[in-house]
């Protein structure tokens, strides 16, 4: 657990650089996605182009794309990699469940977030003999 915390703290010392690199990688990996192509990003990976081309959206804005995936369209619609799984949210926002697309990379990223969160919680609130 200490290694996870140390790695996270090291990354946050230069958060701006890490965020720029992360955005660049995301945009490179997803340049072929229909969604980004339709927004006119044209393979650019810099933050300025991203801000100029990609609007802030809600899940509702993405639903037409998500429903195409749910209906079996295997094209790279929202991501550069094929969506392999669709999960259904618990419906706690807007009182209705939502389809959530997943692929292996999204799963790995989510697991990394949980691992980091668990490491910090365990450091602050260690569990001893099955208790907090």
pTM over 0.85: no
Q: How far apart are CA 73 and CA 52, in angstroms?
A: 28
Q: Is residue 132 part of a domain?
A: no
64 lies in a domain?
yes
Residue 128 lies in a domain: no
**77 neighbors 35 (Cβ within 8 angstroms):** yes
Which band of pLDDT confidence, cut at 50, 70 and 90, is reported for residue 130? low
Pick the more confident residue, 94 or 99: 99
> How many domains, in total, are found in the chain?
1
Q: Which domain holds residue 111?
A: 2-122
Half-sphere exposure of 64 (CA within 13 A, CB side): 4
Please say if the pLDDT value at position 124 is more than 60: yes
pLDDT attached to residue 132: 53
Residue 12: phi and psi, rounded to 5, are: -80, -10
Give the pLDDT confidence of 37-95 residue by residue, as tens digits.
Answer: 999 999 999 999 999 999 999 999 999 999 999 999 999 999 999 899 999 988 887 78
Within a domain: 38: yes
Assign 3-class secondary structure to 7-53.
Answer: HHHHHHCCHHHHHHHHHHHHHHHCCCCHHHHHCCCCCCCCHHHHHHH
Residue 20: inside a domain: yes
129 within some domain: no
DSSP 87: E
Residue 130 lies in a domain: no
pLDDT at position 20, please? 95
d(CA 99, CA 89): 6
* 30: pLDDT strictly greater than 90: yes
């Amino acid at each position: 657990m200490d290694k996870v915390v140390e790695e996270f703290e090291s990354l946050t010392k230069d958060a701006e650089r890490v965020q720029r690199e992360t955005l660049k990688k995301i945009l490179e990996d997803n340049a072929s996605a229909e969604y980004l192509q339709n927004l006119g990003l044209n393979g650019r990976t810099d933050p300025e182009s991203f801000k100029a081309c990609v609007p802030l959206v809600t899940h509702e804005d993405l639903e037409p794309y998500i429903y195409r995936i749910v209906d079996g369209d295997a094209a790279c619609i929202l991501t550069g990699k094929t969506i392999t799984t669709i999960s259904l949210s618990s419906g706690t926002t807007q009182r209705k469940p939502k389809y959530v697309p997943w692929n292996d990379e999204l799963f790995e990223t989510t697991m990394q977030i949980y691992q980091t969160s668990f490491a910090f919680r365990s450091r602050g609130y260690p569990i001893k003999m099955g208790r907090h």
